[in-house]
Amino acid sequence: MLKARVIPCLDVKDGRVVKGVNFVDLKDAGDPVECAKAYDAAGADELCFLDITASHENRDTIFDVVRRTAEECFMPVTVGGGVRTTDNIRDLLKAGADKVSINTAAVTRREFIREAAEKFGSQCIVASVDAKRVSSEDEAPKWEIFTHGGRTPTGIDAIEYAQEVVDLGAGEILLTSMDRDGTKIGFDIDLTRKIADMISVPVIASGGVGTLDHLVEGVRDGHATAVLAASIFHFGEFSIGEAKQHMVDAGIPMRMDATR
C-alpha cells in the first residue's frame, strides 16, 4: 500500500543552508549535502531544496548542491526557487533533481506549466501554490495567491488556481499557507482539504508545522498525501523517525524502512 510522505525542506542561499540546521554529529551544518545525507539516513521520504539565492550569479551553486546530493542520496529530490524557463528545468534535472517546483513563473504566465509538463512529463512538475486567507471570520473562506514570499497579492483565487495548474499538467501541488508559515500553529486544514479533495493529483501540505500532531492532521484531516516541514526537523526538536513513528501511532501508514 502507498504510504504518506514526510518531506524535510532545506532553504539554500548561495549554496549554504539558511535558517540553520542543528543535527548531532554533522560535520558542516551549513552544507546542504551534509544535511541531505543526514535526512536520507534518518528515513526522509523525499527531499526538497528551496533555492533562495539572491543574485543570478550564484544560481550555479544549486546545481552543484543537487549534483552532489544525487551522488549520495538515492531518493527523490525536488528543487524550487527561481525556476522560470524550460532551460532552468532541464539544467536541474540534468544535475540530478527529480522534480522541480514552479511558483512565480506560473502565476505570471500559466502556460509555463503546460510547456514544462509537455517537455518533461507531469511527474516532475510540482506547482507551488502560496495561499493566504483573504476572507474575514464571518465570511465564507476565500484564499488568494501571493508571490514573493507572501508579500505580493495577485487577486487570483487559490482554489481556482490549483485546479487550473493541474488541468495544465502539474503532477503535484505544493500547497503553502502563507498565514501559517513560520507560526508553528499547524497547517491551514480547511484550505488543504478543499484543494486535496478537489484535484486529482497529490497535495503536499506545507506551512505551520510546530508539533508532530500537526503532521498527522495534514494527512488525516487535510487529506494531503505528503507533509513538508522545515524548522521542527532542522533544530533537532524532532527527528524524522520520531515524526514517522508518531504518524504510525495515529494510524497513518508510513514507510519505516530506515529502522530495518
Partner 1 sequence: MSIAIIDYGSGNLCSAAKAFERAADMIGLNADVKVTSDPDDVIKAHHVVLPGVGAFADCRSGLAAVDGMTEALSETVLKQGKPFFGICVGMQLLASHGLEHGSTDGLDWISGDVVAMEPQDSSLKIPHMGWNTITQTNEHPVWEGIPTGADGLHAYFVHSFHFLPQDPSQILATCDYGQTVTAMVGRDNIIGTQFHPEKSQKLGLALISNFLKWIPS
- Considering only 84, 184, 246, 255, the residue that binds partner 1 (CB under 8 A) is 255
221 part of the active site: no
Residue 37 CB, nearest distance to partner 1 (Å)?
A: 12
Q: Which of residues 127-166 bind partner 1 (CB under 8 A)?
A: none
Indicate the angle between helix axes 212-220 and 240-249, nearest 10 degrees. Answer: 50
Strands (E), the chain: 5-13, 16-17, 47-51, 77-80, 99-102, 125-133, 143-147, 152-157, 172-177, 203-206, 226-229
Q: Are 166 and 182 a contacting pair, CB within 8 Å?
A: no
Q: Smaller CB distance to partner 1: residue 2 or 140? A: 2
Residue 15 CB, nearest distance to partner 1 (Å)?
A: 18
Q: Which of residues 30-89 bind partner 1 (CB under 8 A)?
A: 40, 45, 67, 70-71, 74-76
Q: By CB under 8 A, is residue 259 in contact with partner 1?
A: no
Three-state SS at 210? coil
Q: Which of 40, 98, 130, 179 is catalytic?
A: 130
Count of residues that bind partner 1 according to CB under 8 A: 35
Q: By CB under 8 A, is residue 19 in contact with partner 1?
A: no
Of 129-137, 156-164, 181-189, 252-260, the window that binds partner 1 (rule: CB under 8 A) is 252-260
State how far the Cα of 9 lies from the Cα of 47, in Å rounded to an integer.
6
Picking from 148, 144, 80, 86, the residue whose alpha carbon sits closest to that of residue 111 is 86
Could you say which DSSP state residue 4 is in? B
Count CB atoms within 10 A of the CB of residue 252.
17
181 part of the active site: no
- Considering only 21, 89, 124, 189, the residue that binds partner 1 (CB under 8 A) is 124
Q: By CB under 8 A, is residue 175 in contact with partner 1?
A: no
Question: What are the residues facing 145 on neighbouring strands?
Answer: 131
Three-state SS at 13? strand
- Considering only 141, 150, 202, 241, the residue that binds partner 1 (CB under 8 A) is 202
- Considering only 94, 109, 142, 148, the residue that binds partner 1 (CB under 8 A) is 94
Q: What spatial distance separates the first Cα and last Cα of the chain, rounded to whole Å? A: 18
Q: By CB under 8 A, is residue 201 in contact with partner 1?
A: yes
Q: Are 191 and 131 a contacting pair, CB within 8 Å?
A: yes
Q: Which residues lie near partner 1 (CB under 8 A)?
A: 1-5, 40, 45, 67, 70-71, 74-76, 93-98, 120-124, 171-172, 200-202, 223, 225-226, 255, 257, 260
Residues marked as catalytic: 11, 130
